[in-house]
Chain A
Amino acid sequence: MTQNAAQDEFEAQVAPIWARAQAGDEEAYRDALHRIAQRLRGWLRRRMQTLPDDVEDLVQETLLAVHLQRGTWDPTLPLGAWVLAIARHKLIDLWRRRGRRDALHMPLDDVDETLMATADTEAPARRDLLQLLDELPEAQQRAIVLTKIEGLSVAEASARTGASVSAIKVQVHRGLKRLAARVRSER
Chain B
Amino acid sequence: MRTDELITMLARGAGAAPRAPAAARIAPALLVGGVAALALSLSMRSAVPSLLLAEPGMLLKIGYALALAVGGGWLAARLGRPLARTAAPVRVLAATLALIVLLGSAVVALAPDGQRLAQVLGESWRTCARDVLLVSLPALAGALWALRGLAPTRPRAAGAAAGLAGGAVGAVAYAFTCPELSAAFVAVWYTLGVGAAAALGALLGPRLLHW
Nearest Cβ distance between residue A70 and chain B, in whole angstroms? 5
Q: Are B2's CB and A29's CB within 8 A?
A: no
Q: Which of A26, A60, A89, A144 contacts B14 (CB 8 A)?
A: A26
- Count A/B pairs, Cβ under 8 Å: 105
How many residues of chain B are within 8 Å of chain A by beta carbon? Answer: 29
Q: Known interface pairs A72-B22, A85-B82, A125-B3. Does A147 touch B153 (Cβ–Cβ under 8 Å)?
A: no
Q: Are A89's CB and B6's CB within 8 A?
A: no
**Would you call B4 an interface residue if the criterion is a C-beta within 8 Å of the partner chain's C-beta atoms?**
yes
Chain B binding surface SS class: loop
Q: Are B83's CB and A26's CB within 8 A?
A: no
Tell me the bound Cα distance from A77 to B151 in angstroms: 15
How many residues of chain A are within 8 Å of chain B by beta carbon? Answer: 47
Q: Which of A73, A147, A176 contacts B13 (CB 8 A)?
A: A147
Q: Are B20's CB and A149's CB within 8 A?
A: no
Q: Are A33's CB and B11's CB within 8 A?
A: yes
Chain A binding surface SS class: helix
| Chain B contacts for A130, CB-based, 8 A | 1
**Would you call B18 an interface residue if the criterion is a C-beta within 8 Å of the partner chain's C-beta atoms?**
yes
Residue of A whose beta carbon sits closest to that of B153: A89
Q: Which of A21, A89, A122 contacts B2 (CB 8 A)?
A: A122
Most buried by B among A23, A148, A154, A180: A148
| Chain B contacts for A73, CB-based, 8 A | 17, 81-82
